[in-house]
Amino acid sequence: MENLTEPAHEVQLSGETPHCGVEPCSEAAAVAIAGKQLCIQHFVPLCTREVELRIDVLKKSPYDASATEALKNFVTSCVEQARKLVEDDRLAAEPVRSRLQEFLRSVSQTASHLRRSPRLISSVPIILRREDSGRTWEEETWTITVSLHGASLVCRHPVETGGSLMLSKRDRSSRVQARVVYCRYNSEGWREIGVELLDRDNFWGLSQAAAV
């Protein structure tokens, strides 16, 4: 995203009425990002692209707490200003409001999936169970990576993003409720799912030092 590569980004409503800084756009600016004036039409795609680029970098790199926090702050600023724009009576046109509201839903969902802690490659044998009326199943499987707040693991049964699962140790000494955050096939052809642990942290018994 042009001119938005500095570590700290400021997103705020434009207090003036200059033209949008994206050439050759001549629309009035509504939002300022790192000093760059943007109209509403360019605010949404440019912010979306910036968020996607940063997430892609985070996924391909070791866990970076400062970069993750910077992205969260940027997303929070984008969300706050988008909400103010939605509430602005001057933006009464429904297409504009609908686009901003869709942006809010999309970027908020993206932010909720940001990794909260480092991942470690670790094959831990577990029992995976779905408890649902008419669709209950259970399987023995193993993790691919684990973190203080979640894991990626092999799953032979179809699951849906946002669905609930129960994880337990093989000896069933402890278990944890989890939410599916992604489902895909890995390079080896296995169905791989990512889960967020819901009712307890550090189910895997990781030390903070080991997880960094």
CATH of the domain at 178: 2.40.10.220
Q: Read off the pLDDT of residues 78-98 as tens digits, 9 standing for 90 and up.
A: 888 888 888 876 665 667 778
- For residue 186, being part of any structural domain is answered with yes
DSSP state of 89: G
The residue out of 51, 78, 112 marking a domain boundary is 112
Give the number of domains in the chain: 2
Residue with tokens 């809010």: 104
Assigned token pair, 29:
């600016």
Strands (E), 25-170: 31-33, 36-38, 119-121, 125-130, 137-147, 150-154, 164-169
Residue 210: pLDDT over 60? no
Shared domain check, 127 and 91: no
- For residue 5, being part of any structural domain is answered with no
- For residue 6, being part of any structural domain is answered with no
What is the DSSP pairing of strand 119-121 with strand 36-38? unpaired
For the chain, how many residues are written?
212
- For residue 156, being part of any structural domain is answered with yes
- For residue 138, being part of any structural domain is answered with yes
Q: Read off the pLDDT of residues 141-194 as tens digits, 9 standing for 90 and up.
A: 999 888 878 888 999 999 988 899 999 988 878 899 999 988 888 777 889 998
The residue out of 93, 112, 131 marking a domain boundary is 112
- For residue 55, being part of any structural domain is answered with yes
- For residue 43, being part of any structural domain is answered with yes
- For residue 144, being part of any structural domain is answered with yes
Whole domain around residue 163: which residue ranges? 119-211
Handedness of CA 134, 137, 143, 148 (dihedral sign): positive
Strands (E), the chain: 11-13, 31-33, 36-38, 119-121, 125-130, 137-147, 150-154, 164-169, 175-185, 191-197
Shared domain check, 138 and 59: no
Q: What is the mean pLDDT of residues 37-57?
A: 81
Assigned token pair, 211:
């997880």
Shared domain check, 179 and 150: yes
166 close to 179: Cβ distance less than 8 angstroms: no
Shared domain check, 190 and 138: yes
